[in-house]
């Protein structure tokens, strides 16, 4: 199994920076950049710019999953994301599709997406597991307590890390039973998705536990999220410094990739965090 896992292209290797997933929300209501990239041409150009600045993959989403967000119709979501994915693919930009709908996954992969990024870990639709398996692309499984509509109403854990571990055990087994390869899976602890501030901080500061337990690639997504406002009161468009600190700690503790909005800013933090992480690894 260890030899197989080493072939996962999403496991960060010593000497290489953590990979960067650029956030591209083609939505009118996302918490940070809602409405900025609803125009297809603007969205494609933004993705190309992020790729040029250092993004390894562009995460295209057509349905907001911010707290209390409502489900978007299948037709609207497809209309928002498919032309953008096609344009980015033509421009040689690797694309992940940020969706919980199996029909969007299927259409996005056909349009050129090479990863499925699902906040429900392939549980929203009954056929999501089979669609993801048959697609042959990599899949990012995220932990979330509840749904975007209700996840922040009253999240509660006795031991958040153990709950996350048990959830991933179940979902990984379901993926393997559906025919997916373990090397195609990536784990995201779901910072801000059905979590209190103390839960978010605990998960970030114990990412090494998650990494050592599963020995799978770990993606950390904290960019501009509300836990930052809970700590510093910063407005949503002025949270890059705090994002850099949290991502750097995550990379030091074993995160293989980070999901970010400002590629140029976060690339600098990534380089420093990678150097520190490599120094710790090579000194053992």
Active site residues: 225, 259
Q: Which residue has the tokens 């509509």?
A: 149
Alpha-carbon dihedral angle through residues 205, 222, 91, 273, given to the nearest 10 degrees: -40
Residues 245 and 100: their CA atoms lie apart, in Å, by 29
SS3 labels along the chain: CHHHHHCCCCCCCCCCCCEEEEEEECCCCCCCCCCCCCCHHHHHHHHHHHHHHCCCEEEEECCCCCCCCCCCCHHHHHHHHHHHHHHHHHCCCCEEEECCCHHHHHHHHHHCCCEEEECCCCCCCCCHHHHHHHHCCEEEEECCCCCCCCCCCCCCCCCHHHHHHHHHHHHHHHHHHCCCCHHHEEEECCCCCCCCHHHHHHHHHCHHHHHHHHCCCEEECCCCCHHHHHHHCCCHHHCHHHHHHHHHHHHHCCCCEEEECCHHHHHHHHHHHHHHHHHHHHCC
Longest dimension (CA), the chain: 53
Q: At what angle do helices 160-177 and 197-205 cross, to 10 degrees?
A: 70
In terms of DSSP bridges, do strands 19-25 and 257-260 run parallel, antiparallel, or are they unpaired?
A: parallel
């Amino acid at each position: 199994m260890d030899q197989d896992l080493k072939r996962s292209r999403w496991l960060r290797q010593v000497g290489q920076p953590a990979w960067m997933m650029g956030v591209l929300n083609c939505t009118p209501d996302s918490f940070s950049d809602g409405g900025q990239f609803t125009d297809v041409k603007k969205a494609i150009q933004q993705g190309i710019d992020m790729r040029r600045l250092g993004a390894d993959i562009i995460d295209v989403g057509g349905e907001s999953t911010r707290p209390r967000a409502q489900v978007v119709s299948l037709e609207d979501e497809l209309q928002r994301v498919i032309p953008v994915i096609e344009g980015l693919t033509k421009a040689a930009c690797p694309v992940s599709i940020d969706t919980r709908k199996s029909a969007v996954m299927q259409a996005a992969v056909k349009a050129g997406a090479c990863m499925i990024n699902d906040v429900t870990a392939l549980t929203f639709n009954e056929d999501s597991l089979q669609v993801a398996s048959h697609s042959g692309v990599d899949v990012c499984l995220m932990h979330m307590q509840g749904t975007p509509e209700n996840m922040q109403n009253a999240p509660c854990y006795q031991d958040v890390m153990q709950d996350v571990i048990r959830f991933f055990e179940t979902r990984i087994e379901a993926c393997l039973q559906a025919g997916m390869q373990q090397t195609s899976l990536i784990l995201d602890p779901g910072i801000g998705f059905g979590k209190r501030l103390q839960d978010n901080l605990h998960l970030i500061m114990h990412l090494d536990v998650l990494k050592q337990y599963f020995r799978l690639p770990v993606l950390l997504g904290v960019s501009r999220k509300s836990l930052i406002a809970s700590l510093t009161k910063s407005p949503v468009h002025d949270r890059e410094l705090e994002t850099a600190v949290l991502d750097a700690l995550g990379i030091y503790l074993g995160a293989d990739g980070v999901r970010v909005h400002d590629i140029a800013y976060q690339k600098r933090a990534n380089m420093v965090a990678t150097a520190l992480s490599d120094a710790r690894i090579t000194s053992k």
